[in-house]
Structure 1
């Protein structure tokens, strides 16, 4: 049997050495698949403003020459159009691979070209990861009126491709094969699109300064580490999204979305003051957000999930519920149980709680209102993602392990079933007029004083209701 490594491939990686050739092949491979695999083009281009119609026509070109008003030649890496029902969306595409970075001046030229040609946007693709969805990794690019600037990292394109292949969106076998060939190509080390996850040249200096308490103020190296940390969390979100076939994101405060510089500034100050890099990941359907902390002073990575306890159980029942949910979780997890309106939790390892569940409420004698589950692991110290003791790899493995062994098994607590209403008390019987009584008399009304209703047995025949004979007489007079 011939080995799999010799199988013919649609997108070959043999002979790929220089970045220029990597850019050409990666651009051509991606754009050719976008023209055929409609679910993928919808997923990648739809959020940018392209039509989401299944019948839309997608066309793409590479290295189309243009000339500026000054006679300067421009040759963008690609152009893609999506047309449907008389409406057309066009994006000019600039691609970088490997360690190449997008240039603000080059982007400015392409933005002006897109404005002149009536294109909708400029789309950049590179190994750089934006701090959050909607942000751009390149600073200083001036976006003219009438055109937009968007960015997709190769990591996101790969993640979305894997998700689409695993979903029910690609039902055509040939399209599925094309998408699989694109994924295989992007995952190959020679393609030039793999994210390095390198923590930068200043990593060792910043880590040692943090450990020794010598970081008194944010420096350029500190800001660079914070930016790379944000990109690392974004990459972890993409990895989980591909594995879960779901949208995993970072919950970003509104103030940070409107001012990315503020986000970087606050992260740098936290790193100097506390020696920590922090962030969160949001997974649809998970019991809570995942809190991720890299403590450079202690050399540990901390993953946490914080969630409410079931309200329809007592103290023992709430702890028993948690132990059932964590039956497959590692015993070294740290469990904190918070009573209602208490900030001082009962704390124990999962193994300790398994032996003595009452440790979760012994001192307060009050049932836990919420739980916090914490996983601690050793932090890698090397800046390189390919090193044996890599910081980035240790963070990615901690995130993946915490979700797989712990968070995904904790189910949401259903609300208690609604209770049936008590049977309402019967309404008092309406007085019934007795036709045999004289006009104006009421029969069977227990609420009337004796003498004003039906005659009582003791004075029947001797007392009757007075009957007015003339105007101004009778019980209602005056």
Structure 2
């Protein structure tokens, strides 16, 4: 069994070597930090750095003051130089608050612009750091975080999109992917919800009033935020395109505001939600964990075709797209304008008779459809790992059976009318009629 310290050194060295050797990989990684790499820019990545003014080399360790950054990144754009200390942890190890404070202090003392950490923790954006420092402690230094799985996904997508410049660089990046995917690398996805998950689900079942400031609520939301990011990376690898986690502008700018707002939703609605943008898909995928119902939902919404006048015709338009989909767990909700009830039926029922979505009280056809997959976990919902495992099965399954088959309705282009029809309809004005008479003369 390889020690975590050795695996950490190997993983960091592998990634830094790829940064130096594969242009597309380092450009993608640095772009996520807001750094653009021009053609004339020079990049350097160093491992196991020792500063000249150190009185003695500091040894790596799990805490205490003996730690030393794993690497240093230097980007020289000819106009300015941007530098960053890098610290990686592998397996279940994380960077502690005290350790991060020391790295920030080191960066300030030496004029280094940023500190980057790499662990198996997930964040929505690289500037949403999993370790919270006060504004005073972090002032003057940029803080960023990558998960190992994020770097693995970026490398995988570059290879699948054939965005790597040369055969040598492609070979190097393939070896990086092979290493990070290996079981012994220590790189993992998000594996389980927080320890308080089972108690929180039980409280919701027993109708206990939750507080958004309670530790179990905030820890649950934090765990959900990590799982959102991991789920997006899983979808990205499966479809071979970058699937984006959609966040409101204020949440992109402020991770604390995001945590507070999502905790409020959890307390009020007993739901955890997120939305994914899959490139070229018919609509976003909305994912929800309904704690009260102990169920997982994945949903896509489509406008109904306006050139179809009846409910049956509009439903058949949708059914043709899903003719080869597995029906189990798939349901369709018909949305109509106004306050009336939105009818729903299973995909299996609609295949038997599309009139299941006809409203006996309103003659108007649906204006939109929601197609959703529901998975009732019952007692298994409380399992920290089971919940994550089933969620990461359910959402890709929904996309495979529904998402990749759906096409948004597009209005057909107008047809050229015959001259006789246009004249009969009075579509030419007096000036146009006069113009044609003059031309005829």
TM-score (norm 2): 0.85
Q: Provide closer, same or farther for how the CA distance between residues 75 and 69 of structure 1 changes in structure 2, counting only shifts above 3 A.
A: closer
Aligned 1:288-367 pairs, distance under 5 A: 288-315=283-310, 316-332=312-328, 333-363=330-360, 364-367=362-365
**Is the 8 Å Cα contact of residues 129 and 231 (structure 1) preserved in structure 2?**
yes
Deviation at 1:78, TM superposition (A): 0.4
Query: Is structure 2 residue 79 aligned with structure 1 residue 89?
Result: no
| SS at 1:93 equivalent | strand
Q: Paired residue for 1:396?
A: 392
Rounded to whole Å, the distance in 2 between the matches of 1:82 and 1:69 is: 23
**Is the 8 Å Cα contact of residues 281 and 289 (structure 1) preserved in structure 2?**
yes
Gap regions ≥5 residues in structure 1: 1-14, 431-478
**Is the 8 Å Cα contact of residues 68 and 113 (structure 1) preserved in structure 2?**
no
Q: Provide closer, same or farther for how the CA distance between residues 133 and 149 of structure 1 changes in structure 2, counting only shifts above 3 A.
A: closer
Deviation at 1:417, TM superposition (A): 1.4
**Is the 8 Å Cα contact of residues 287 and 412 (structure 1) preserved in structure 2?**
yes
1:61 to 20, 37, 46: 46
- Which fold has the larger relative contact order, with Cα–Cα distance below 8 Å and residues 6 or more apart in sequence? 2
Q: Paired residue for 2:381?
A: 381
**Is the 8 Å Cα contact of residues 33 and 179 (structure 1) preserved in structure 2?**
yes
Q: Paired residue for 1:424?
A: 428
Q: Mean alpha-carbon deviation: is it higher for 155-164 or for 93-102? A: 93-102
**Is the 8 Å Cα contact of residues 206 and 215 (structure 1) preserved in structure 2?**
no
Would you tell me which structure has more helix in proportion to its own residues? 2
Rounded to whole Å, the distance in 2 between the matches of 1:365 and 1:359 is: 13
Rounded to whole Å, the distance in 2 between the matches of 1:258 and 1:50 is: 17
**Is the 8 Å Cα contact of residues 50 and 57 (structure 2) preserved in structure 1?**
no
Query: Is structure 2 residue 78 aligned with structure 1 residue 78?
Result: no
Q: Paired residue for 1:175?
A: 169
Deviation at 1:237, TM superposition (A): 0.4
Q: Provide closer, same or farther for how the CA distance between residues 373 and 37 of structure 1 changes in structure 2, counting only shifts above 3 A.
A: same
| SS at 1:368 equivalent | coil
1:102 to 82, 87, 95: 95
Rounded to whole Å, the distance in 1 between the matches of 2:45 and 2:252 is: 32
Q: Deviations over 1:123-159 (max 9, x none)?
A: 1111111244531111125465553111111111111
Q: Paired residue for 2:187?
A: 193
Rounded to whole Å, the distance in 2 between the matches of 1:229 and 1:407 is: 23
Deviation at 1:301, TM superposition (A): 0.9
Deviation at 1:114, TM superposition (A): 2.5
Rounded to whole Å, the distance in 2 between the matches of 1:357 and 1:255 is: 42
Aligned 1:24-35 pairs, distance under 5 A: 24-35=9-20
Aligned CA RMSD, in angstroms, stands at: 2.6
2:369 to 365, 371, 376: 371
1:268 to 257, 263, 269: 263
1:122 to 115, 122, 129: 115
Deviation at 1:406, TM superposition (A): 0.3
Deviation at 1:94, TM superposition (A): 1.2
**Is the 8 Å Cα contact of residues 123 and 129 (structure 2) preserved in structure 1?**
yes
Rounded to whole Å, the distance in 2 between the matches of 1:133 and 1:418 is: 47
Which of structures 1 and 2 has the bigger CA Rg? 1
**Is the 8 Å Cα contact of residues 126 and 146 (structure 2) preserved in structure 1?**
no
**Is the 8 Å Cα contact of residues 108 and 141 (structure 1) preserved in structure 2?**
no
TM-score (norm 1): 0.79
| SS at 2:245 equivalent | coil
| SS at 1:327 equivalent | coil
Deviation at 1:241, TM superposition (A): 1.3
Deviation at 1:50, TM superposition (A): 3.5
**Is the 8 Å Cα contact of residues 308 and 369 (structure 1) preserved in structure 2?**
yes
